[in-house]
Structure 1
Amino acid sequence: MTSPTPPAEPTYADRTFRSPAGLVGGVLLLLLVGWIGGDAVFRGAGRAPWLALAGLLTAVPLIVAFTLRPVVFANEERIRIRNPFRTIAMPWTAVADVRAGYSSELFTQDGTKFQLWAVPVSLRQRKKVARQQTRKAQDDPYGRTSVHADVRDTGARIAAADQAVRDLREMAERAGDGGAGAVVVRWAYEVIAPAVVGAAALVVLFAVG
C-alpha cells in the first residue's frame, strides 16, 4: 500500500516594487557610457583604450547597482529587498514597521533599519498630490462630486512611494506578530568586485602615466 502524497506547500506570487524612472535612467546611462567608452576603446590611441576599459569596468556595475538592480519582492510570507550592494530577506514577522519620510525605510523587530532603494520618495510628487487634494477640497468642501474633478483619477490621491509603503505595511500587518524571525543579508559581490577591480586599474594607469 502506497502512502498518500503529502499536500504541496502553498506558493505565493511575489509583488515587485521598483522605480520606472530608475530603470529608464539606467538604460540611458548605460547606452551613453557604452557609446563613449566603446568609441575610446576602438578609436583611442596610447593609453586611452585601457583607461576606457577600466572606466567601463568601474562605471557599468555602479550604474546597474543604483538604477537597474534595486527592487523589492514581497508576498504573503516574506519580503526581499535588493539594494545596490546588498540583498536582505526576512519573514514579515521580523518587520516592525515600514515608513516613508525623506526615504522609504523598513525597521525590523530589533530596531535595525534598511533603506528601500527601489521605492524612492519624490517630495515634488507629494506636493503635487497635496495641491490637487487642496483644490478638490476647496471646490467641494462638503465632499460632493465636483464638476471640475476627474473622479476616475484615483492615482492622484497619493504619491507612488507612499502607496507602495502603504501596501507593504498592510502586508506586514496581515502577517501578524510571530516573533523576531530570521533576517538574511547577502552582499552583492558580483557588483562590488568588478567595480573595485576597475577602480584599482584606473589608479594604476594614472599612477604609471
Structure 2
Amino acid sequence: MTDSDGKPHQGSAGSDGEPVYADRVYRSIPGVISGVLLLAVAGWLIGDAALSGTGKTPYVSLAAVPVFAFPVIAYTLRPAVLANDRRLVVRNPLRTITAPWASVEALRAGYSVELFAGGAKYQVWAVPVSLRQRKRANRIQQRGGVDRHPSRLGVAFGRPGAGSSVVAGAPDPSRAWSDQVVGVLQEQAERNAARPDAAGPVVVRWCWWIIAPTLAGLAALVVAIVV
C-alpha cells in the first residue's frame, strides 16, 4: 500500500536490515465489477423472494444465499496475486498458494497464466489472459504507434518501483496486461531468488471459509426443496 504522499509504505526492517514494504497486488478490475453487480442483483432478487414469496419460497431463497454468494465471491472478488521481496502469494478461488521466490521456477502466460513452483503447476486466476488485447498490442507493435486507450483489464497496487507508487491499466500499450504482469513477476523472482529469506517450500491452503458455507448452504437448499 502507499502513504497519502504517494510514497510506498515502509514497514519494519527485515532480517537483512532492509525495510519491508507492503505487498504489490494484482487483480482483475472486470472480475471485481462483475462480482459486485452479480451480488447486488442476487441480493435484490433473493430479498424480494424472501419478503414477498409464499409457501416454502422464502426458505428456499434464503437457503440459496450461501450457495450463490460464496462462489461468486470466490471467483470474482477473492482472486489476487500478492508479491513482495520475499514471496509470491497466488490467491485462487478455492486455494491460496504461497511460494517463496527461491521455489518459483517460472511464470508463463499462454491461454492462461500459470505458475510453476515446487515441481507443481498452478493456475493464476487473478491475471486473466485477453487474446483480443494481445492482438491489439501486436497491431500497435507492427504500426510502431501508441494506443490512446490503454486496457483496463487489471490493476496493480503497491510498490512498482522508483518514482511510481501506483500503476493502473496497461502503461505499455504494446504488451497485453497479463504479459506485463508475468514479465514483472518473473523479473522479481530472478532478482530475489538468492535472498536468504526468500527460501522455503511452497505452501497450499484450502479456503474453507468459502467451501464450508457453500456445502452447508447446498445441504440446506436440498432440505428446503424436498421437505
TM-score, length-normalised on structure 2? 0.78
1:183 aligns with 2:202: yes
Letter in 2 for 1:98: L
1:45 aligns with 2:54: yes
Match of 1:132 in 2: 140
CA contact 2:115–2:123 (8 Å) conserved in 1: yes
Unaligned runs of 5+ residues in structure 1 are 1-6, 137-148
Q: 1:169 aligns with which of 186, 192, 203?
A: 186
CA shift, 1:150, in A, is 3.8
CA shift, 1:177, in A, is 5.2
Match of 2:75 in 1: 66
CA contact 2:140–2:147 (8 Å) conserved in 1: no
CA shift, 1:12, in A, is 2.5
- Tell me the secondary structure at the aligned position of residue 119 of structure 2: coil
Letter in 1 for 2:185: L
1:195 aligns with 2:195: no
Residue-pair matches, total: 189
Distance 1:123 1:111 in 2: 28
After superposition, what is the alpha-carbon deviation per residue over 1:134-157, rounded to whole angstroms, capped at 9, x for unaligned? 233xxxxxxxxxxxx348875311
- Tell me the secondary structure at the aligned position of residue 128 of structure 2: coil
Which structure carries more helix by proportion? 1
Distance 2:199 2:115 in 1: 14
- Answer with 152-161 or 172-181: which moved more: 172-181
Percent pairwise identity: 50
Change (3 A) 1:57 1:69: same
- Tell me the secondary structure at the aligned position of residue 157 of structure 1: coil
Match of 1:99 in 2: 108
Distance 1:188 1:157 in 2: 36
Match of 1:123 in 2: 131
Match of 2:155 in 1: none
Distance 1:39 1:135 in 2: 53
Letter in 1 for 2:23: D
Q: 1:26 aligns with which of 30, 35, 38?
A: 35
Change (3 A) 1:8 1:14: closer
Distance 1:8 1:34 in 2: 45
- Answer with 9-18 or 190-199: which moved more: 9-18
CA shift, 1:71, in A, is 0.5
Distance 1:200 1:42 in 2: 22
- Tell me the secondary structure at the aligned position of residue 114 of structure 1: strand
- Tell me the secondary structure at the aligned position of residue 200 of structure 2: coil
Distance 1:176 1:48 in 2: 56
Match of 1:3 in 2: none
- Tell me the secondary structure at the aligned position of residue 84 of structure 1: coil
- Tell me the secondary structure at the aligned position of residue 21 of structure 2: coil
CA contact 2:100–2:200 (8 Å) conserved in 1: yes
- Tell me the secondary structure at the aligned position of residue 129 of structure 2: coil
TM-score, length-normalised on structure 1? 0.84
Which structure carries more strand by proportion? 2
1:205 aligns with 2:218: no
